[in-house]
Amino acid sequence: MSSESLEKIKSAIVKKLPKRVQLANIEFEGSEVVIYTKNPEIITENGDLIRNLAKDLRKRIIVRSDKTVLLDQEKTIEKIHEIVPKEAEITNIGFNDVTSEVRIESKKPGIVIGKYGVTSREIVKNTGWAPKILRTPPIPSKIIEKIRHILKQSSEDRKQFLLSFGKRIHQEVNHENDWARLTSMGGFREVGRSCMLLQTPNSRVMIDCGVNVAGNDPKSSFPYLNVPEFSLEELDAVVISHAHLDHCGFLPYLYHYGYDGPVFCTTPTRDLMTLLQLDHIDIAHREDNPLPFDTKNVQKTVERTITLDYGEVTNIAQDIKLTLHNAGHILGSSIAHLHIGDGQHNMVYTGDFKFERSRLLDPATSKFPRLETLVMESTYGGHDDVQPSRNTSEKKLMKTIYQTLKQKGKVLIPVFAVGRAQELMVVLEEYMRHGMIDEVPIHIDGMIWEATAIHTARPEYLSKDLRDQIFHAGRNPFISDAFHKVTNPNKRKDIIEGEPSIILSTSGMLTGGNSVEYFKALCDDEKNTLIFVGYQSEGSLGRRIQKGWTEIPLMKDGKTKVFHVKMNIQTIEGFSGHSNRRQLMDYVKRLSTKPEKIITCHGDPHKTVDLASSIHKSLKIETKTPLNLECTRIQ
Ligand SMILES: [Zn+2]
Residue numbers of the domain that contains 550: 390-571
Distance (Å) from CA 382 to ligand 1 centroid: 18
Separation CA 573–CA 388 (nearest Å): 7
Distance (Å) from CA 454 to ligand 1 centroid: 17
DSSP three-state, residue 258: coil
Distance (Å) from CA 208 to ligand 1 centroid: 11
Whether 508 is in a domain gets the answer yes
Q: Model confidence over 130-164: pLDDT tens digits?
A: 999 999 999 999 999 999 999 999 999 999 999 99
Distance (Å) from CA 307 to ligand 1 centroid: 19
Whether 78 is in a domain gets the answer no
Distance (Å) from CA 490 to ligand 1 centroid: 33
Tell me, what CATH number does 325's domain have? 3.60.15.10
Q: Note whether 404 and 524 are same-domain residues.
A: yes
Whether 174 is in a domain gets the answer no
Q: Note whether 243 and 195 are same-domain residues.
A: yes
Q: Note whether 93 and 212 are same-domain residues.
A: no
Whether 414 is in a domain gets the answer yes
Whether 75 is in a domain gets the answer no
Supply the pLDDT for residue 504. Answer: 97
Whether 152 is in a domain gets the answer no
Its pTM stands at 0.94
Distance (Å) from CA 351 to ligand 1 centroid: 8
Task: Please give the DSSP secondary-structure letter assigned to residue 606.
Answer: H
Q: Note whether 52 and 105 are same-domain residues.
A: no
Distance (Å) from CA 581 to ligand 1 centroid: 16
Distance (Å) from CA 521 to ligand 1 centroid: 30
Separation CA 583–CA 163 (nearest Å): 43
Separation CA 131–CA 70 (nearest Å): 12
State which residues have CB under 5 angstroms from ligand 1, the bound ion. 244, 352
431: pLDDT strictly greater than 70: yes
Q: Model confidence over 20-73: pLDDT tens digits?
A: 889 999 999 998 999 999 988 888 777 788 888 888 888 889 999 999 999 999
Separation CA 126–CA 361 (nearest Å): 39
Q: Note whether 494 and 356 are same-domain residues.
A: no
Distance (Å) from CA 352 to ligand 1 centroid: 5
Supply the pLDDT for residue 83. Answer: 97
Q: Judge whether 344 and 351 are in contact, CB under 8 Å.
A: no
Distance (Å) from CA 385 to ligand 1 centroid: 17
Supply the pLDDT for residue 574. Answer: 86
Distance (Å) from CA 535 to ligand 1 centroid: 12
For the chain, how far is it from start to end, CA to CA, in angstroms? 19
Q: Note whether 475 and 532 are same-domain residues.
A: yes
Q: Note whether 500 and 613 are same-domain residues.
A: no
Whether 295 is in a domain gets the answer yes
Distance (Å) from CA 592 to ligand 1 centroid: 24
Q: Note whether 286 and 334 are same-domain residues.
A: yes
Q: Note whether 243 and 374 are same-domain residues.
A: yes
Separation CA 303–CA 149 (nearest Å): 11
Distance (Å) from CA 513 to ligand 1 centroid: 20
Distance (Å) from CA 243 to ligand 1 centroid: 7
Distance (Å) from CA 244 to ligand 1 centroid: 5
Separation CA 627–CA 190 (nearest Å): 9
Separation CA 64–CA 46 (nearest Å): 15
48 contact partners, CB below 8 Å, separation of at least 6:
none
Question: Helix crossing, 448-457 with 267-286: angle to 10°?
Answer: 170
Q: Note whether 498 and 374 are same-domain residues.
A: no
Q: Note whether 331 and 444 are same-domain residues.
A: no
Q: Judge whether 629 and 224 are in contact, CB under 8 Å.
A: yes
Return left, alpha or beta for 504; rule: phi > 0 is left, psi -120 to 50 is alpha, else beta. beta
Distance (Å) from CA 210 to ligand 1 centroid: 10
Tell me, what CATH number does 402's domain have? 3.40.50.10890
Which of 20, 35, 67 is the endpoint of a domain?
A: 67
Residue 6 buriedness (CB in 10 A; 0-12 / 13-18 / 19+): middle
Q: Report H helices in 480-596.
A: 489-497, 514-522, 541-546, 581-590
Q: Note whether 504 and 622 are same-domain residues.
A: no
Distance (Å) from CA 358 to ligand 1 centroid: 15
Count up the domains in the chain and report the number: 4
Supply the pLDDT for residue 166. Answer: 94
Distance (Å) from CA 242 to ligand 1 centroid: 7
Whether 228 is in a domain gets the answer yes
Tell me, what CATH number does 119's domain have? 3.30.300.20
Distance (Å) from CA 228 to ligand 1 centroid: 28
* Burial annotation 265-275 (CB, 10 A radius, 16+ → b, else e): bbbbbbbbbbb
Supply the pLDDT for residue 53. Answer: 87
Of 43-52, 204-213, 423-432, 470-479, the poorest mean pLDDT is in: 43-52
| Section 170-180 average pLDDT | 87
Distance (Å) from CA 577 to ligand 1 centroid: 8
3: pLDDT strictly greater than 50: no
The two beta strands, 320-326 and 313-317, are: antiparallel
Tell me, what CATH number does 42's domain have? 3.30.300.230
